[in-house]
Amino acid sequence: MANEPMHGYQIYAKEFVKQHPYCGLFLDCGLGKTRITLEALKELNPGQHVLVIAPKTIARSSWFNEIKKWDMPIRTKSLVVDDKDRLLTRKKRLALYEEIPNMPPSVYFINRDLFSDLVDYLCSKKPPYWYFPTVIIDESQGFKNHSSVRFKQMKRVRPVCSRVIELTGTPVPKGLMDLWSQIYILDGGERLGRTITQYRNTWFQPCKWANGYAVDWEPLPGAKDDIYNRIKDIVISMENTTLQLPELIVNEIPVYMDEDEKKRYKKFARTQVLDLTDGGVITAANAAVLQAKLSQMASGAIYTDPETKEFEIIHEKKLDVLEHIINTTGSPVLVAYWYQSDEKMICDRFPQAVVFDGSAHLTDEWNKGNIPVMLLQPASSGRGVNLQYGGHVIVWYTIPWSLECHDQTYKRLYRQGQTQPVIMHYLLTDGTIDQRILSSVRLKHLNEQELLDAVKVTLEDADALSSSMTH
């Protein structure tokens, strides 16, 4: 992966970041905002500490995974978890704060909820000092509330920052009013006004009143275009750029189980082999059954009663990653799944999700943009429907062992009439059969021997994992 070339739009965005000390990348999830930023940092070589502020799950692992994936020569330090991925106590975190001035230049990671604590601690010192001239705010919509403590704390340290980079796919989750504070962090109010009141009075009008006071506002005609035109020199967004994006963007997202979940997966996998084989020997006759069970387990569950489809949950890590994608993608999301357990777990986590039944009604509602999350089972509903008008993001929650099902499904979006680049996310649980299935699909090697090899390698990996955890 380290040698995979960047797309043209990514190179453009990287140079944009390098040339604009205060800038925003307002691009959809999956377009590579993290890699763009890392490549820019590598070339800028700031020689001082960098602080990344992000939601906890992203600060905890996502950036570290990307740095490893692209083989970046970047020193990192977490202010959220220790080396064993355990949440830091406040005592340990304060000890790390004290070490910051004496550490070699590093990229530090902190979640949004702890950012204020860090600012208070460093700025209460005598003399006060801020050790992070470069600040990256991942999912910058988390700073949209101009009244929030985190916004005020960022405003406090902004004058001593020489570079601020904002990353988000959803800068205005509830409307244009959410944009002001994010742009203020970049330019101090130069483009959209120095106060929220000035911003509101310029581009909005009251639409709801209570006790004689305006309590809600709506944009004036032409406000959106005017606002994006004013910020286009410091922000790359789908609203204000003519970037030529690729038509199909593939994004492999690793999913990591914790140690107990890994042990549980291995135990289930070995039990299934013993139950379904004679002396643990995998044959063509039982490989398909084993593949299905291993694939289901990789997605987080296993049937305890095949007749009633009752199942036991092994992990919910794919749900966590899916939640992040849904929350950070500014358009409807199509989720491809395979097992009834997948459907039940996803629907339980996301009440807004609709299960696609192939009907004309749901097809129409999706294409109108009225369904934020739609689940599609490739074998039953993945053919003959046109879904390209309602969204451009598909998530493979479970990858089928069927090239036809795979290709037919994503081409519901990736077809004539689609006006956006299609982003295809694969959720791949580490140490499971997921990666082998994806490799086979890509190589179009979905034959009997490949199936046998995939199952055998997966079980060997499980055994190796088990051995490493017992030594």
Q: What is the model's pTM?
A: 0.76
**What is the 3-state secondary structure of 329-350?**
CCCCEEEECCCHHHHHHHHHHC
Cα separation, 267 vs 259, whole angstroms: 12
CB count within 10 Å of CB 324 equals 17
Cα separation, 214 vs 227, whole angstroms: 22
Weakest-pLDDT range from 269-278, 309-318, 384-393: 269-278
pLDDT of residue 443: 76
Of the pLDDT bands very low, low, confident and very high (cuts 50, 70, 90), residue 278 is low
Segment 195-200 long-range contacts (CB within 8 Å, at least 24 positions apart) = 196/146
pLDDT of residue 466: 44
> What residues contact 89, with CB distance under 8 A and at least 6 apart?
none
Mean pLDDT of the chain: 87
Provide the total of helices (H) and of strands (E) in the chain, helices listed first: 19, 17
Q: What is the pLDDT of residues 327-370, one digit of tens each?
A: 988 889 999 999 999 999 999 999 999 999 888 889 999 999 99
Q: Specify whether the CB–CB gap between 200 and 217 falls below 8 A.
A: yes
Of the pLDDT bands very low, low, confident and very high (cuts 50, 70, 90), residue 469 is very low
Cα separation, 253 vs 247, whole angstroms: 19
Q: What is the pLDDT of residues 407-449, one digit of tens each?
A: 889 988 988 788 888 999 999 999 888 988 888 887 776 666 7
Average pLDDT over residues 183-208: 95
Q: Is the pLDDT of residue 132 over 70?
A: yes
Q: What is the pLDDT of residues 30-43, one digit of tens each?
A: 788 999 999 999 99
Weakest-pLDDT range from 93-97, 262-266, 323-327: 262-266
Tell me phi and psi for residue 112, to 5 degrees. Answer: -55, -40
* CATH-assigned architecture of domain 8-237: 3-Layer(aba) Sandwich (3.40)
pLDDT of residue 467: 45
Q: Is the pLDDT of residue 253 over 80?
A: yes
Weakest-pLDDT range from 22-26, 132-136, 437-441, 462-466: 462-466
Three-state SS for 213?
strand
> What residues contact 436, with CB distance under 8 A and at least 6 apart?
453, 454, 457, 458
Q: Is the pLDDT of residue 299 over 80?
A: yes
Q: Is 471 exposed, middle or buried (0-12, 13-18, 19+ CB in 10 A)?
A: exposed
Q: Specify whether the CB–CB gap between 111 and 78 falls below 8 A.
A: no
Q: For residue 385, what are the CA distances in angstroms to 249, 369, 381, 410, 416? A: 21, 16, 8, 11, 12
Q: Specify whether the CB–CB gap between 293 and 302 falls below 8 A.
A: yes
Gyration radius of the chain over CA positions: 24
**CATH topology classification for 248-255+314-470:** Rossmann fold (3.40.50)
Q: Provide the token pair at 184.
A: 């203020």
**Can you give the residue ranges of every domain in the chain?**
8-237, 248-255+314-470
Q: Is 169 exposed, middle or buried (0-12, 13-18, 19+ CB in 10 A)?
A: buried
Share of the chain above pLDDT 90, in %: 55
Higher pLDDT, 95 or 360: 95
Cα separation, 381 vs 374, whole angstroms: 12
Q: Is the pLDDT of residue 301 over 90?
A: yes
> What residues contact 33, with CB distance under 8 A and at least 6 apart?
25, 27, 138, 167, 169
Q: Is the peptide bond before 159 cis (omega within 30 degrees of 0)?
A: no
Average pLDDT over residues 87-114: 94
Helices 434-443 & 448-470 angle (0-180, nearest 10):
150
pLDDT of residue 181: 97
Q: What is the pLDDT of residues 3-13, one digit of tens each?
A: 678 888 889 99
Domains 8-237 and 248-255+314-470 share a fold: yes
Three-state SS for 424?
strand
pLDDT of residue 445: 65
pLDDT of residue 470: 42
Average pLDDT over residues 67-92: 88
Q: Provide the token pair at 10.
A: 């990514």
